[in-house]
Structure 1
Amino acid sequence: MDDMVQGTAEWHAIRLGKVTASRVADVIAKTKSGPSASRAKYAGELIAERLTGSPAERFSNAAMAWGTEQEPEARKTYEFYRDTDVVQVAFVSHPVIGDSGASPDGLVDVDGLLEIKCPETHTHIETLLNKEVPSKYVTQMMWQMACTGRKWCDFVSYDPRLPESMRFFCRRVHRDDALIADLEKEVVAFLNEVRGKVIGLRRLYEEPKADAPAELLMAG
């Protein structure tokens, strides 16, 4: 576990070219005809990161910035709600699978994790009405548990714009070893594809450069 701060240059550097928890859903995304476009796009992003040594550009907007700003307050609210302290951590590598890891929003007690979302109000209301964790985040939380070895993760949705009784939602998701095993197989296959394409690109476009002077001499 690293004690650096999430969002810093060091944090982006340690995640470079790696599968992270928030993107595992893209790794496993499929359509009726096969892998989804989001899976191919994510593979392209990781390939680019490995070839350029620079993090891929991420889309950001005002709603996302607002959510990031509200996260500390949401964490404090959770600590009060659960009567516990949250330990922040920047990145945890997967114990077995290289080039993969997770950035949970906090470690809780001995066995727990915390995942915080501060979404747009309509999204938060939908979560309140459904009274359950949106399925797209379950995969993310499972990968966090896979990387940390922890047994559960509390999902929090927080929106201070609503009346006080509606601002905070929390549900616990328990570790599912069978699901984690399936995710690990998918991530290993995905990473092998990424590595293979990086190697293929380098063979095609880097090695011929060394032969270029000889070819020019022959042509002369």
Structure 2
Amino acid sequence: MVEIIQRSPEWFQLRRGKVTASRIHDVIAKIKSGYSTSRANYMAELVLQNVTHSIEQTYISQAMQWGTDTEEQARNAYSFYSGNEVDEIAFINHPVITQAGASPDGLIAHDGLLEIKCPNSATHLDTLLNSKINRKYLLQMQWQMACTGRKWCDFVSYDPRFPEEMVIFIKRINRDDDLISEITNEVTKFIDEMNETCAKLKTQYMEAA
């Protein structure tokens, strides 16, 4: 575990060139004919980070900024409603796969994690009405549990623009070792391909320069 503030320059460097939990859906994304373009795009993104040893600045939308600005408020609300104390952590490397890791929004006691989403009001409303969690977030939480060894993760959707009794949605997601095994296989394959591409680029261009 590494104690650095999330979204700081040091945090981005810790994640550089590594498969992270928030992008697992890109790693395993498939269509009828095979892997989707989102996998290839993510591969290219990480290859570039590995060969340049830097991270390209990405566009931050208004919705993304809202989520960042509201996260601490959501964490405090979760602690209030659940009674759970939350410890913050910046990044946790996978115990075996060195080029992968996760940045959960909090650690809870010895077995739990916290994942916070502060979406637009339409998404929060849909979550309140249907109690459904987007699959990419389910994959994200399972990989967080794989990296930390934790047994469960509380998913939070938070929107302070709603009435007090509707501002927060909390749902516990338990560890699924079968799904984690499937994800691990895909991550391992992805990283092997990424490293092969980096090696090929180095041989063809960097060593010849």
TM class by smaller structure: over 0.9
Aligned AA for 2:57?
Answer: E
Q: Secondary structure at the match of 1:86?
A: coil
Aligned length: 209
Question: Which residue number in structure 2 is paired with residue 198 of structure 1?
Answer: 198
Question: Which residue number in structure 1 is paired with residue 189 of structure 2?
Answer: 189
Segment of structure 1 superposing worse, 52-61 or 86-95: 52-61
Question: Which residue number in structure 2 is paired with residue 85 of structure 1?
Answer: 85
Question: Which residue number in structure 2 is paired with residue 94 of structure 1?
Answer: 94
Quote the Cα distance in structure 1 between the aligned partners of 2:137 and 2:206.
40
Q: Secondary structure at the match of 2:133?
A: coil
Name the TM-score, length of structure 1 as normaliser: 0.93
Shift of residue 175, structure 1, vs aligned partner: 0.1
Q: Is the 8 A contact 1:132 1:171 kept in 2?
A: no
Quote the Cα distance in structure 1 between the aligned partners of 2:193 and 2:135.
26
Aligned positions of 1:104-183 closer than 5 A = 104-183=104-183
Q: Secondary structure at the match of 1:104?
A: coil
Q: Secondary structure at the match of 1:4?
A: coil
| 2:38 matches 1:34 | no
Quote the Cα distance in structure 2 between the aligned partners of 1:24 and 1:97.
14
Quote the Cα distance in structure 2 between the aligned partners of 1:2 and 1:206.
32
| 2:71 matches 1:75 | no
Quote the Cα distance in structure 2 between the aligned partners of 1:23 and 1:206.
28
Q: Which runs of 4+ in 1 moved over 6 A?
A: none
Aligned AA for 1:32?
Answer: K
Gaps of 5+ in 2: none
Aligned AA for 2:190?
Answer: F
Q: Give CA deviations for 1:14-53 in whole Å, capped at 9, x if unaligned.
A: 1100000000110000010111000000000000001111
Q: Is the 8 A contact 2:91 2:102 kept in 1?
A: yes
Shift of residue 84, structure 1, vs aligned partner: 1.7
Question: Which residue number in structure 1 is paired with residue 7 of structure 2?
Answer: 7
Quote the Cα distance in structure 2 between the aligned partners of 1:28 and 1:57.
24
Q: Give CA deviations for 1:170-192 in whole Å, capped at 9, x if unaligned.
A: 00000000100110000000000
The percent of aligned pairs where both chains have the same amino acid is 52
Q: Is the 8 A contact 1:152 1:173 kept in 2?
A: yes
Shift of residue 134, structure 1, vs aligned partner: 2.0
Alignment root-mean-square deviation, CA: 0.8
Q: Is the 8 A contact 2:24 2:136 kept in 1?
A: no
Q: Secondary structure at the match of 1:107?
A: strand
Segment of structure 1 superposing worse, 174-183 or 56-65: 56-65
Q: Secondary structure at the match of 2:208?
A: helix
Question: Which residue number in structure 2 is paired with residue 212 of structure 1?
Answer: none
Aligned AA for 1:84?
Answer: N
Aligned AA for 1:121?
Answer: S
Shift of residue 98, structure 1, vs aligned partner: 1.3
Aligned AA for 2:65?
Answer: A
Aligned AA for 2:148?
Answer: T
Q: Secondary structure at the match of 1:2?
A: coil
